[in-house]
Amino acid sequence: MITLSNIEKVYQTKTIETVALQNVNLHIPKGEFVSVMGPSGCGKSTLLNIMGLLDEPTSGLVEIDGTPISKYKDKELAHIRNQKLGFVFQSYHLINDLSVLDNVELPLLYRRGASAAETRKLAMTALEKVGLSARTKHFPAQLSGGQRQRVAIARALIGQPEVILADEPTGNLDSVMGEEIMNILLHLNQQDGTTIVMVTHDENMAHKTERLIRFFDGQQVSDARTAAFNFQQV
């Protein structure tokens, strides 16, 4: 699904050179739920941004479904993001001026051939999946943190992406709400077969996924199956 080969990301200013990622080699197969852990500043979010085609590596190769995307232009990258990827951010990044329904419909605005009626139907289905179909006309400011994150998940879902990239989706939530969000993501992975890559600081959450990759100082230090995976295998 997503393959990263020899990825390096260096941020350069006039005086300082910061290596965010170094020699990263990863393959995320279809249908896997992977969590990425590590201390702050270790390059987890940078990794997710590169996987999500929101950022370019300084060197190395990114492949989506076996196709290298290094020569793709803005329009082609936008198309892949729209068709294949969905994003969930720690701080939700909902558009406060739009209603819940309008926020969820957003990805389909950029998809050709999606009729208004069809878009609305898909948005309702996505909101039902996250248990928020009664809040369609509310605005983000009227919702709790957990509800906002569920709207963000519905927005990520509506385009039926193959991969959801979640950057600390429970980071701003208390443990109960975090648990709810995690259950929704697990359900998506197990029932719909959606590939999920989740950055997290929470060991408990990470151990609910089937694979855990640890980063330290921009380098991948471990990549292992979790007990949850072993349990699933049994």
Partner 1 sequence: MLKNYLKIAWKVLLRRKFFTFISLFGISFTLMVLMVATSLFDHTFGPQMPERETDKLLFVNMVREQIQDGYNSSGPISYHFFDRNIRPLNTPETVSVNSMFFQVNSYINNRKLALDIKYTDREFWDILDFNFLEGNAFTQQDVKGANRVAVINENTREQYFGKAPAVGQYIVVDQVKYKVVGVVENVPVLRVQSYADVWVPVTLKSQEFNKPGLRGTYFATIKAKTPNDIPKIKAEYAAMMQEVERQQPQKGTKLFSFPDTFLESFARAFLGRDQETGLGMLYGILAGLTFLFMLLPTINLVNINISRIMERSSEIGVRKAFGATSSTIIGQFIVENIFLTLLGGLLGFLLSAGALWFINDSGIIVYADLDLNLRVFAIGLLLCLVFGLLSGVYPAYKMSRLHAVEALKGGSK
Enter the tokens of residue 175.
Answer: 């443990």
CA gap 117, 137 in Å, rounded: 16
- Nearest to partner 1 of 116, 224 (CB atom): 116
- Nearest to partner 1 of 30, 111 (CB atom): 111
- Nearest to partner 1 of 112, 233 (CB atom): 112
CB of 225 to partner 1, least distance (A): 30
- Count other Cβ atoms within 10 Å, centred on residue 57: 22
CA diameter of the chain: 54
- Nearest to partner 1 of 135, 155 (CB atom): 155
Q: Give the side-chain half-sphere CA count within 13 A for 5.
A: 10
CB of 224 to partner 1, least distance (A): 28
CB of 90 to partner 1, least distance (A): 9
Q: Map tokens 């051939």 to a residue.
A: 113
What is the distance, to the nearest Å, from the Cα of residue 135 to the centroid of all Cα atoms in its chain? 23
Q: SS3 of 157, please?
A: helix
Task: Report strand pairing: 33-37 vs 195-199.
Answer: parallel
Contact footprint for partner 1 (CB under 8 A):
49, 52, 54-55, 74-75, 78-79, 81-83, 86-87, 89, 91-98, 102, 105-107, 109-111, 155, 159, 172
Which residues neighbour 53 within 8 Å (Cβ) at sequence distance 6 or greater? 62, 64, 69, 72, 77, 80, 81, 85
- Nearest to partner 1 of 1, 108 (CB atom): 108
DSSP symbol at 188: I
CB of 74 to partner 1, least distance (A): 5
CB of 95 to partner 1, least distance (A): 5
